[in-house]
């Protein structure tokens, strides 16, 4: 379990001073990874004792162990595919994929806080607002699938793509209360971070799916979900993210049962009339 997940798990036990330390750990991981107890305490406006107590509450022997874990988290996030492919894993790729993707899916869904999930579903189901999806280059495919599914349940769903001119023209149309789903993993597409920040400034509800609470996407999000993205080869896996997106779409379908049924019936009738699909 990474440090961000440990903080989420134990946050109810923190004192106010420990909460300030935890906030620095999440917001400035480089300071924790390469700094000292004194530097972390000073940044959090507290004492070194609070830093040590937080480390212990998270299950570490002391600050050094916490520091080592944050360094590993940063290393996993920043290590590109060109480095991973030089360290091949042993064993059958099919067997590895089965175990890794089961873990990705279970870890991702088990880590979802029910109250945040319900708020995200409500934001996506609000028919008086629009939904925009921002996805990095690697997640463009599952982003497109999510937009396609949501748009069959409700109107006003858009995938934000194209040149910077097109992207910011779309962002200019956002209104307060619109929902923005931002999906990306380290290393993050710079334009996507900028677009999520712009959406937040326009008072849209930003829902982030990313690999860690240390992510810059998490810092601008109103609702954040951490996805497990371990790959069986040199590339990250988006299976856990897709499972969570599917759950969100299913939640929207549940909330909009009557209107979504009418919408799907109209679409199905149009497909049947045009003969565009073959069942057998």
pLDDT in tens, the chain (280 residues): 678 888 888 888 899 999 999 988 887 887 888 889 999 999 999 999 999 999 999 999 999 999 989 888 777 655 555 555 555 566 688 888 888 899 889 888 988 888 999 999 999 999 899 999 999 888 999 999 999 999 999 999 999 998 889 999 999 999 999 999 999 987 788 999 999 999 999 999 999 999 876 678 888 899 989 898 888 878 889 999 999 999 999 999 999 999 999 999 999 999 999 998 887 7
pLDDT for position 79: 57
pLDDT for position 88: 59
Sequence length of the chain is: 280
- Residue that has been written with the tokens 């935890």 in this structure: 22
pLDDT for position 74: 72
Q: How far apart are CA 210 and CA 255, in angstroms?
A: 25
Query: Would you say 138 and 92 are in contact if contact means Cβ atoms under 8 Å apart?
Result: no
Q: How far apart are CA 178 and CA 147, in angstroms?
A: 15
CATH number belonging to domain 3-78: 1.10.10.10
Q: What residues does each domain of the chain span?
A: 3-78, 108-271
Q: Structure tokens of 261?
A: 């049924």
Q: How far apart are CA 160 and CA 189, in angstroms?
A: 13
- Residue that has been written with the tokens 């107890």 in this structure: 37
Query: Would you say 96 and 232 are in contact if contact means Cβ atoms under 8 Å apart?
Result: yes
pLDDT for position 49: 94
Q: Which of helix, strand or coil describes residue 132?
A: strand
C-alpha distances in angstroms, 217 versus 49, 57, 122, 224, 258?
31, 26, 21, 8, 34
pLDDT for position 73: 76
Query: Would you say 225 and 244 are in contact if contact means Cβ atoms under 8 Å apart?
Result: yes
Query: Would you say 228 and 108 are in contact if contact means Cβ atoms under 8 Å apart?
Result: yes
- Residue that has been written with the tokens 């379990």 in this structure: 1
pTM above 0.85? no
Q: Do domains 3-78 and 108-271 have the same CATH topology?
A: no
Q: How far apart are CA 133 and CA 140, in angstroms?
A: 10
The yes/no answer on whether domain 108-271 falls in CATH 3.40.50.10490 is yes
Q: Structure tokens of 170?
A: 């779309």
**Run of H or E including 94:** helix 93-110
Tell me the sheet residues that pair with 276: none
Could you tell me if residue 166 is left (phi over 0), alpha (psi between -120 and 50 degrees) or otherwise beta? alpha
């Amino acid at each position: 379990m990474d440090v961000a997940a440990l903080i989420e798990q134990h946050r109810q036990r923190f004192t106010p001073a420990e909460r300030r330390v935890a906030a620095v750990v999440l917001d400035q991981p480089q300071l924790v990874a390469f700094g000292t107890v004194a530097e972390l305490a000073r940044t959090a406006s507290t004492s070194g004792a609070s830093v040590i107590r937080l480390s212990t509450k998270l299950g570490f022997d002391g600050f050094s162990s916490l520091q080592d874990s944050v360094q590993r988290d940063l290393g996993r996030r920043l290590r590109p595919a060109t480095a991973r492919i030089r360290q091949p894993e042993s064993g059958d790729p099919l067997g590895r994929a089965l175990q890794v993707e089961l873990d990705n899916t279970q870890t991702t869904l088990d880590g979802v806080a029910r109250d945040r999930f319900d708020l995200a579903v409500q934001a996506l189901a609000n028919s008086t607002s629009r939904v925009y999806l921002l996805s990095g280059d690697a997640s463009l495919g599952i982003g497109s699938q999510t937009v396609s599914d949501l748009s069959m349940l409700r109107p006003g769903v858009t995938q934000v793509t194209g040149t910077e001119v097109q992207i910011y023209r779309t962002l200019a149309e956002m209104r307060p209360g619109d929902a923005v789903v931002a999906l990306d993993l380290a290393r993050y597409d710079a334009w996507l971070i900028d677009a999520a920040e712009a959406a937040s400034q326009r008072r849209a509800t930003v829902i982030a799916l990313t690999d860690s609470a240390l992510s810059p996407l998490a810092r601008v999000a109103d609702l954040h979900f951490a996805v497990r993205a371990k790959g069986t080869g040199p590339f990250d896996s988006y299976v856990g993210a897709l499972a969570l997106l599917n759950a969100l779409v299913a939640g929207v379908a549940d909330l909009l049962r009557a209107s979504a049924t009418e919408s799907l019936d109209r679409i199905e009738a149009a497909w049947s009339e045009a003969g565009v699909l073959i069942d057998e």
